[in-house]
Structure 1
């Protein structure tokens, strides 16, 4: 007996929820049906996938690998559904995009709004996620396009730099540096900082620059949210360094974004991700063209040697 999509859906639900009862509820099936589907799948692959215990469901060897393959299969089906829905041109269709919340707010949403004005029947599915989650959503076909700050390229992905912009120092109104409109790294090192966590590429870039210049900063707080950092800066706790595409959010919160003058200029890059070897739906292709044109208008010249 071959593997069926119904078996894989049951398997993925149990894998994700680690519970047969909750998986059955999520699929609107009985628990006995979910158990039977998983048993059939185990017979087909010749492996035991789950072990029930007092703590719930334990994953056995090979289970995670099968889940990854199942997600790729479902991703291809989701992409095919979106592609077929757009065969009538741009009269209908769906575009799925994944990005961090702040990128979605400052970079993606304005283009989505303009695109909607031209093609009101196109539906957008926006996923606001961490960088790693964005990559996984694109790999598994849950998103047609992803926007991330990527430092290494997965061979399964088409990864193209679409934005290159300067980094800015963010200070509260009334700060000694605010009146200047610009600063140097040695100026910034004199003040307490609100630091983003090391998962942010802009933080890792900042750490690299400070190390090269022999500078250190005093951290008074670390956060994983740009808006939380801005709230603490507005409260006078310290300053920070952010990518240029968040300047509009700074201004909305009454903060000042200062250019950093040290040569060479520190640039922050963002890349658009899509799955290698998979055709984009027509609606997603049209949106990608508009989005790349928008980002190109924001980007800085490439540094020499790039």
Structure 2
């Protein structure tokens, strides 16, 4: 049988006080109960830990050796529950989020400040990534949650919608398309096009929609970053298509944009979670902040 925490507490108290009466007051045990706890501990470890004389209790050599070990075990026990309490009370913790670049730049900056104000000891790790990588990080447990478009059908991930974005035609200042209030998707085929990576969820939407209207894009350059699309378009090399929310992460200098219509394509954005794994207290707190931010975004829209 393994020693109990009560027996360790009795041993350390008696070893420090060298008196059953004083030790009993420290651990709130009667002297008989204290003596029983010590005897059970000695029986478990296989020998005496105290040398008993008529005047006082003194530690045996084995007891002297065991005292710092027992004290450390009790401290570790207390710290473990203190740490656990801090995690549940959200005084401390870590949250990892994987997010599409548009959401990382458009939704999360304000959340970081709010998280810091409400839970200053919760640390946030943010990874901006393309949609498939966001799904993979959450699925593999490398991220607590993901901010992205709806994932492909899977039993492992759930999707909670937060807001809707839409696509805009992005043109250099002075471009003829900017003379219109809106731009039809079919009109994109008439101009050199700067494309975002084929691995991105936005590119898949763009290719599918252009195909639906029976057109083909004249792609003169393909890049991996949304900000790079903006810079190249601003130089006059072509036009592009970006999510409206992405304008929070790129400079709009030299750029203009118009809503894309015929058809109007909604881009659903939300949070993905692993279905079978509960969130930590810190991650649950972050999820509530994400929901609040989504609500504010919808209200502003």
Normalising by the smaller structure, the TM-score range is 0.5 to 0.7
Cross-structure match for 1:185 = 185
Query: Residues 98 and 146 of structure 1 are in contact (CA less than 8 Å); yes or no, is this contact kept in structure 2?
Result: yes
Query: Residues 194 and 221 of structure 1 are in contact (CA less than 8 Å); yes or no, is this contact kept in structure 2?
Result: yes
1:99 Cα shift? 1.6
Structure 1 gaps, min length 5: 1-82, 301-306
Give the root-mean-square deviation of aligned CA atoms.
2.4
1:174 Cα shift? 1.9
Aligned-partner SS, 2:97: strand
Query: Residues 194 and 220 of structure 2 are in contact (CA less than 8 Å); yes or no, is this contact kept in structure 1?
Result: yes
TM-score (norm 2): 0.65
Cross-structure match for 2:103 = 103
Distance 2:148 2:281 in 1: 22
Distance 2:93 2:161 in 1: 26
Cross-structure match for 1:295 = 294
Q: 1:237 to 1:88 in 2, by over 3 A?
A: same
Distance 1:221 1:286 in 2: 42
1:219 Cα shift? 1.0
Distance 1:275 1:84 in 2: 23
Cross-structure match for 1:267 = 266
Q: 1:269 to 1:278 in 2, by over 3 A?
A: same
Q: 1:88 to 1:203 in 2, by over 3 A?
A: closer
Cross-structure match for 1:208 = 208
1:240 Cα shift? 0.9
Query: Residues 93 and 122 of structure 2 are in contact (CA less than 8 Å); yes or no, is this contact kept in structure 1?
Result: yes
Distance 1:101 1:295 in 2: 16
Q: 1:139 to 1:208 in 2, by over 3 A?
A: closer
Distance 1:289 1:181 in 2: 37
Q: 1:186 to 1:288 in 2, by over 3 A?
A: same
Structure 2 gaps, min length 5: 1-82
Distance 2:297 2:254 in 1: 22
Cross-structure match for 1:25 = none
Cross-structure match for 1:42 = none
TM-score (norm 1): 0.64
Count of residue correspondences: 217
How is 1:11-22 mapped onto 2 (pairs within 5 angstroms)?
none
Query: Residues 148 and 273 of structure 1 are in contact (CA less than 8 Å); yes or no, is this contact kept in structure 2?
Result: yes
